[in-house]
């Protein structure tokens, strides 16, 4: 054993004693002082660094560990590149198979795959025709719904326009009735004042009646003035009564007119409600039928999508056969070239991975 090597068990016991002493000092205040604990810990760290610098075997192991880790990371990066290149090649082969089938290029042992693709394409065309019919039906239904809604909205507008004069007249009558009520209240107040004045004059005349012949000219003149006042109050009372009666008669006429206009408005509102209900029912009917056709459209879309998914692996298989046979065709030459470059890159990456073993 070299002088700087320390057994693991002794080192562990020493460290445990130091940390336990430090913890005790922090909690209870006894044991090693806080600063001494960190001083000893720093000394231990310096000792470990010194041992590492003197121990070549340890440094070699550390270098080997980091080198091995670096190689592992490089290998993982190459493997990701390799997987990406394989996926790219798969796509190229699938595109090659699709192009070969579209160009109707026959490849060795590919007849079954070719026929399957033809069958799938025929089914797809039939579904696309069905989809076109559904879309035409949906377009027609939406157009009919829009047209029907437009006509009903126009009818509603016409009825509302026809009803508006009666509504305006009814509102005018209600305003006039309020005005009449206020005028009647005002006239009744004036009438009360006139009646009070008339009663007061009558009382004064009654008091003067018995002594007029003996009272002389003064009392006679006063009585004459009271009679004039009485005639004036009587005339005012008659005029106010006539005005109130006229206002009441006008209100009765307005009440009849209001009932007639309200009856007209009620009739229009019934017609409007009927049109609104018709619009609501028609909209519900069209939307129900549209919803059913949209469900059918969704089902056909799913079937077309499934056919496209089923064609993908068949294109891949057909591409493999086309790549193996290398059928002469100008449209396929570019795919052959891209696949060759991809194979070259795959070989290079595989060699780089083998070099890291």
Choosing among 3.40.30.10, 3.40.50.2000, 3.30.565.10, 1.10.287.620, the CATH entry for 106-326 is 1.10.287.620
- Identify the pLDDT of residue 28: 44
Q: Minimal CA–CA distance to 113: which of 321, 351, 330? A: 321
For 168-202, how does the pLDDT look when each residue is reduced to its tens digit (9 = 90+)? 999 999 999 899 899 989 988 888 888 888 788 77
User: Where in the chain are the domains?
Assistant: 106-326
Q: What is the pTM of this model?
A: 0.57
- Identify the pLDDT of residue 222: 72
For 331-341, how does the pLDDT look when each residue is reduced to its tens digit (9 = 90+)? 889 999 999 99
For 109-145, how does the pLDDT look when each residue is reduced to its tens digit (9 = 90+)? 888 999 999 999 999 999 999 999 999 999 999 999 9
- Identify the pLDDT of residue 7: 43
Question: How many whole angstroms separate alpha carbon 343 and alpha carbon 89?
Answer: 8
Q: Minimal CA–CA distance to 317: which of 138, 167, 108, 124? A: 108
Q: E strand or H helix at 311, and its extent? A: helix 217-325
Regions of the chain short of the pLDDT cut 70: 1-32, 52-67, 207-220, 223, 357
Contact (Cβ atoms closer than 8 angstroms) between residue 18 and residue 38: no
């Amino acid at each position: 054993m070299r002088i700087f090597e320390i057994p693991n068990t002794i080192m562990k016991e020493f460290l445990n004693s130091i940390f336990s002493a430090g913890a005790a000092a922090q909690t209870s205040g006894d044991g090693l002082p806080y600063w001494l604990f960190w001083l000893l810990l720093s000394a231990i760290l310096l000792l470990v660094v010194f041992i590492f610098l003197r121990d070549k075997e340890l440094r070699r192991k550390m270098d080997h560990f980091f080198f091995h880790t670096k190689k592992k990371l490089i290998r993982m990066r190459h493997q990701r590149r390799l997987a990406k290149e394989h996926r790219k090649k798969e796509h190229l082969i699938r595109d090659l198979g699709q192009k070969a089938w579209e160009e109707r290029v026959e490849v060795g042992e590919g007849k079954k795959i070719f026929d399957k693709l033809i069958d799938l394409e025929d089914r797809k065309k039939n579904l696309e025709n069905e989809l076109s019919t559904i879309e035409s039906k949906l377009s027609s239904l939406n157009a009919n719904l829009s047209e029907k809604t437009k006509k009903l909205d126009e009818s509603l507008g016409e009825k509302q326009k026809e009803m508006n004069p009666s509504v305006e007249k009814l509102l005018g009558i209600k305003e006039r009735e309020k005005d009449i009520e206020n005028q009647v209240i005002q006239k009744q107040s004036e009438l009360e004042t006139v009646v009070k004045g008339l009663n007061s004059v009558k009382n004064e005349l009654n008091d003067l009646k018995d002594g007029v012949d003996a009272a002389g000219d003064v009392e006679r003149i006063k009585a004459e003035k009271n009679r004039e006042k009485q005639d004036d109050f009587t005339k005012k009372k008659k005029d106010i009564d006539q005005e109130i009666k006229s206002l009441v008669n006008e209100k009765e006429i307005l009440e009849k007119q209001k009932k007639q206009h309200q009856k007209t408005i009620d009739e229009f509102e019934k017609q409007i409600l009927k049109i609104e209900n018709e619009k609501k029912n028609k909209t519900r009917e069209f939307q129900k039928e549209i919803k059913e056709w949209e469900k059918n459209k969704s089902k056909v879309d799913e079937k077309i999508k499934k056919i496209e998914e089923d064609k993908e692996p068949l294109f891949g298989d057909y591409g493999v056969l086309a790549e193996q046979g290398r059928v002469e065709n100008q449209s396929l030459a570019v795919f052959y070239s891209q696949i060759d470059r991809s194979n070259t890159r795959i070989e290079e990456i595989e060699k780089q991975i083998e070099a890291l073993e």
